[in-house]
Structure 1
Amino acid sequence: MRTLLDFEKPIAELEAKLAEMKKLAIDNNVDVSTAAAQLEASIEELKKETFSNLTRWQRVQLSRHPERPYTLDYIEHMCDEFIELFGDRTVADDKAMVGGFGRIGEETFMIIGQQKGRNTKQRQLRNFGMPNPEGYRKALRLMKMAEKFNKPIVTLIDTPGAFPGLEAEERGQGEAIARNIRDMFMLKVPVICIIIGEGASGGALGIAIGDRVLMLENAWYSVISPENCSTILWRTWNFKEQAAEALKLTAEDMKGNKLVDGIIPEPLGGAHLDFEQATQTVKNVILETYKELSQLTPEERIDQRIEKFSAMGVVTE
């Protein structure tokens, strides 16, 4: 049984009625095709109305849905072959950051992303998708390897933020993220960044400097989460909905403010309802974007990358 968010419950109730109607029709050998078709149309209409009018906080809830595909799910469905690589060659292997060479169609990509867990044991192993410094150093090591072998890079961003623990700060969390940001500007190979779920703070930005930065329809991207913003402003999490509205963190907001380059549509109701369709859409976007970027020289890509990010936040009156 799938997990339901509050705003999905009216839809689920109608779907339950439809299932009950069909069961009764089979048990009693009664033709209910007309009534069932009308109810199916009502469900479809309600879905379209609900998901086209989501609040920013509801988008945040969808981005955190426990059944939503994570980085390894996308890799499994997109790649014909994948070889995972481990370790930062300094401290350890960070399980919250995964990466390796993956073949999509005829092209080999270096795919890197944050990974969350499905159950308590996995969440502990993956540290809830919050990388330590060694995670960012592993990511940069893999990017440099991709550059060495002239392979394009795809990053999949889904993190509530970099791990904020004392030990992470002692090992240089800020320096690791800053180094990634600096060095990603100068990578000679095409870099495609896709925010597939949560894109919070420097934890996201540490692998999000690319030629194209894209967002899934129900992802969010912000300097801070709504809960933490609410805690700072109101000393409580109770105003997280207002904080989400003020932060303007949805894909549509980010595209409007020219902070991302495009929005990738999801199946109606969210990516978790149709893994195959969601991952196929992302796969097609990666291949199309790579084809476009491969027409440019490394110098042109670097210049455009720097120009794009330098223009962010600039206001002229």
Structure 2
Amino acid sequence: MSAQRIDTHIHALPPVYVRALEAAGGDPSGYPTPDWTLEAALHSMDALETSVGILSLSTPGVPIAGTGEAGRKLARDMNHYFGNSTTKCKYNNRFGFFGVLPDWQDVNGTLDELDYLYQEQKLCNGVTVYTTYGDKLLGDKHFTPIWDRLQQYKALVFLHPGVLAVEPQFVASVLPQPIVDYPIATTRAAVDLVMTQTVRRCPDVDIILSHAGGTLPFLAERAIGSLAVPEIATRLGFDMVKARDDFSRFYYDTALSASPAQLHGLLDFADPSHILFGSDFPYAPQFAINAQMARYAAFVATDQRGSDLSPEKLRENALTLLNKHALKKKIQ
């Protein structure tokens, strides 16, 4: 049991969400919406020897319902579903969840849902946040009250990439945005959070970046180096030392990120204690997850740095982070 995995990047598509997604015209990222049930998630977890999965709602999420009452209701319905499902005895403590929030452009609705999650329901392991809302990155001043509330609750944030408003929308006119654009969206959001000093203003908020941080391990030094330009550093009121320190605070999951190039890049950039396991089920089909796991296992078994990412280490990392932010019951 000690080596069994804890999956911090495993998605859920409850019926209420699927109906709302269909009513909104489908997933704007161009990616097909997979079939999903809790039982299918359990089957995948068992195949991977995963003991606990922290369910989350992938992009596009609640923002498909807009910034009004419909969005607030969908978020609450989703949190009721997650709360009820993850506490059922039949699942034997196999699931946790990242709470669902309205579109952040509805600041008051988002604050209300955070209060519900942390003061009333008290079941979530953290909250899911997307990389952009409308035309705003997460460090936008419009969202300062939300970050203040997250800091108040010492929340854990699972940061998932969102749809990018770019033209042309799809590479090669066909490839859905998750293939190329989502890693870029994560990178832009992470750099924005550091350069706007949002990370620095929220010392008790921990942030998990999806898919090994996208391209962040490759591009962060470029962002940090920009602060050597006096005009940029002056406008931001920031310096390279602080930026480097704030980048080091991020956590990373390994969802769809098991190649030697990705894992070496991550180890070159991040502390090994900040790396977590993620499967990306069901958006990654089981055969793709199995292929990723085979590559990961080969890396652990044959690479001289493989022991830094052993199943035992990734499980320990997840336990430490999740239990740091536990509201009630801790994960064993």
Is the pair's TM-score, using the shorter chain for normalization, greater than 0.5?
no
* TM-score (norm. length: structure 2): 0.35
* TM-score (norm. length: structure 1): 0.36
Structure of larger gyration radius:
1
